[in-house]
Amino acid sequence: MNYKNTLLITFPVDLGNRTLESNFQAIFIEDMDNYRFAKEHATDANSGMTTLTKSIGYRFKSALGLRKIVSDYTKQGKNIVFHGISPALFSYGIWKPSNTSIIVDWTRGLYPSTLREPFKKDIIFTIHRKLLSACPRILCQTDAVRENLINVYGVNRSSTFKVLAPFQVEKLDIPPRHTPTRPRVLFAGGDLKRKGGDIILEALRKGMFDKCSLTMMTNDSAADVNGVNFLPGVKYGSEQHRKAFEDHDILILPTRIDSYPQVVGEAAAAGLAVITTKFALGATEVVLDGQTGYITDTPTQCIDRLQDLLNNPSLIDDFKIQGYKVMHKKFSREAIRKSYLQVIERDI
């Protein structure tokens, strides 16, 4: 087998991870081989049939194959890159710290700390803390996850590195379009309530979308109501997915909690103004508050900011143009590759 110098181990546990996996595969196709740990999750993610029991079963079922391939690469002195803690855990003892990196976009302790709720430091926390402390290269996609690893998990700051989220802006290179008299607003999210879709539906019932059209790209039938252009079953990366961005002017995502919602960066790259909350933990990476969109303190404030934009259409165009420029300058394929490779390939 002709091994590349680095093995990327992805873990498609849910739709969000599959989006990241797809982007990693495309961005690093020339640099890394790819192994999918517990790939059975991918089928479940499509059908929405994942359960905790099945998920754990998939991991144990896949552990032997994972450990074998990690062993093969390790024996050859190759680099191992884990996307997520779970595949690193299920191959613990096989990989060598000197050749290993772990990409982290969330932790079990991140959401409670963000929401200022108590976090139970149980046996799983202890295991994760030991695992993370053994790895000298932890690549963090947001400042929030980096600080959580340091302050909650006790990871040495010198072992953590800030990297860019793996957007494929080249695939969504849709130059900003002039905003029509009736702006077109898009919501996109699988978990309707967590993403704030219920807040949008309540605002719709109160007549707060009279000045615009509203599309909700979700599989949740609760969004299939009068006044909504309901778009279920849109496959990520499809032409329909791309057209959803091309046909709209504003993305609104009043999320209650998210590690790094990819749709925020994708919308900006596709020439949309973006409105979301500070609970989208990666939002500050892609949205310049007041320049390319708005980041609000609460989910309901997203509706207020939307009203501000609808009352000032020229501002929508300004946000669209600036957001497009920021995304395509900051998140180019080469910029992302450099962000990761300079950490993965450094000597420890």
Of the candidates 106, 306, 190, the one whose C-alpha atom is nearest the C-alpha of residue 296 is 306
What six digits make up the tokens of 226? 């009068």
Q: So what's the pLDDT on residue 120?
A: 84
- C-alpha to C-alpha distance for 118 and 110, rounded to whole angstroms: 11
Measured distance CA(143)–CA(163) in Å, rounded: 9
CB 85 within 8 A of CB 140: no
DSSP-derived letter for residue 278 is T
| CA gap 156, 151 in Å, rounded | 9
Q: What is the pLDDT of residue 50?
A: 65
pLDDT digits (tens, 9 = 90+) for 49-69: 667 788 889 999 999 999 999
CATH T-level topology, domain 6-167+333-344? Rossmann fold (3.40.50)
Instruction: Round the CA-based radius of gyration of the chain to a whole number and report it.
Output: 21
Domain residue ranges of the chain, discontinuous segments joined by +:
6-167+333-344, 169-330
Do 6 and 33 meet the contact criterion of CB atoms below 8 Å apart? yes
CATH topology of domain 169-330: Rossmann fold (3.40.50)
Could you give the count of Cα atoms lying within 13 Å of 79 in the half-sphere of its Cβ?
Answer: 22
Q: What burial class does residue 330 get, using C-beta atoms within 10 Å of its C-beta: 0-12 exposed, 13-18 middle, 19+ buried? A: middle
Helix 301-310 and helix 313-330: axis angle, to 10°? 110
Tokens for 18, please give them. Answer: 């599959």
Question: Average pLDDT, whole number, for the chain?
Answer: 93
At 324-344, the pLDDT tens digits run 999 999 999 999 999 999 999
Decide the pairing of beta strands 184-188 and 160-162.
Answer: unpaired
Beta bridge partners of 102: 82, 138
How many H-runs (helices) and E-runs (strands) does the chain carry? 14, 12
At residue 63, the 3 state secondary structure works out as: helix
Q: Is there a shared CATH topology between the 6-167+333-344 domain and the 169-330 domain? A: yes
Q: Measure the CA angle with vertex 298, ends 293 and 303; round to 5°.
A: 60
Choose among 159, 133, 165, 135: nearest CA to 146. Answer: 159
What per-residue confidence (pLDDT) applies to 300?
A: 97
> Over the stretch 76-105, which tens digit does the pLDDT of each residue have?
999 999 999 999 999 999 999 999 999 999
**Rounded CA gap, 254 and 302, in Å?**
6
Q: Tens digit of pLDDT for each residue in 24-41?
A: 999 999 999 999 999 988
Is the per-residue pLDDT at 72 higher than 70?
yes
How far is the first Cα of the chain from the last one, in angstroms, to the nearest whole number? Answer: 28
